[in-house]
Amino acid sequence: MQSHPHMDQPMRRKAREVTDPVVIESVLQSETLMHLAMSQNDVPFLVPVYFGWDGKALYFHSASAGSKIGILQANPEVCFEISSVAGFIEAEEACDFEAQHRTVIGFGRAVFVEDEAEKIRALDLIVAHFTRKHFEYPKENLAKTLVIRIDVHAMKCKQHGF
């Protein structure tokens, strides 16, 4: 992975930083929802998307038109966040409540996938979060579905309460 200015800074609460690749991988494999941040002309845009992870890249699908597609075509650089929240830790003071969580935040570049075999593999990764069934994707559906790969530049993970 490459360096990234936001990822090069030390984590403020160093004790919460996770560097164990097994833990990071477990968050990326077990969660289904990713928040994807984009920007065009200094205007931020954030969307939740269902995703798949293949060990190197993140994938999500989309209709062929819409705000996120236009933004990604203009500026493919993205930030992503994936969290696993297991509950909440109560405290005596309201400001001391905390979430029991693991969070992965990273940066990458969105690439529109053209290769049909890669598209199918990506869709299988996404669907596998929801079912063990295997599906065939009709060619006409594949042609209408965009699959976007995020080539990850850098990511960090933190946890609390585990």
Beta strands in 55-128 (DSSP E): 57-62, 77-89, 98-112
**What is the reported pTM?**
0.84
Instruction: Please state, in angstroms and rounded to a whole number, the distance separating the CA atoms of residues 60 and 31.
Output: 13
Q: How far is 145 from 104, CA to CA, in rounded Å? A: 27
Question: Residue 109 is encoded by which pair of tokens?
Answer: 């570049």
Give the angle subtended at the CA of 71 by the CAs of 70 and 75, to the nearest 5°.
125
Where does the pLDDT of residue 127 fall: very low under 50, low under 70, confident under 90, or very high at 90 and above? Answer: very high
Per-residue pLDDT of 151-160, as tens digits, reads 999 999 888 6
Is 5-160 a CATH 2.30.110.10 domain? Answer: yes
Q: Mean pLDDT over all residues of the chain?
A: 86
- The 10s digit of each residue's pLDDT in 74-121 is 999 999 999 976 556 665 666 666 666 788 999 999 999 999 999 999
How many other β-carbons are positioned within 10 Å of the β-carbon of residue 161? 14
More confident site: 84 or 38: 38
Is the pLDDT at 71 greater than 60? The verdict is yes
Instruction: Specify the pLDDT at position 17.
Output: 72
In this predicted structure, what is the pLDDT of residue 19? Answer: 76
Q: Which percentage of the chain shows pLDDT scores above 70?
A: 78
Phi/psi class of residue 59: alpha, beta or left (left: φ > 0; alpha: ψ in -120 to 50)?
Answer: beta
> What are the residue boundaries of the structural domains of the chain, listed by start?
5-160
Residues 149, 58 contacting (CB under 8 angstroms)? yes
One-letter amino acid at 69 equals: I
Burial of 160 (0-12, 13-18, 19+ CB in 10 A): middle
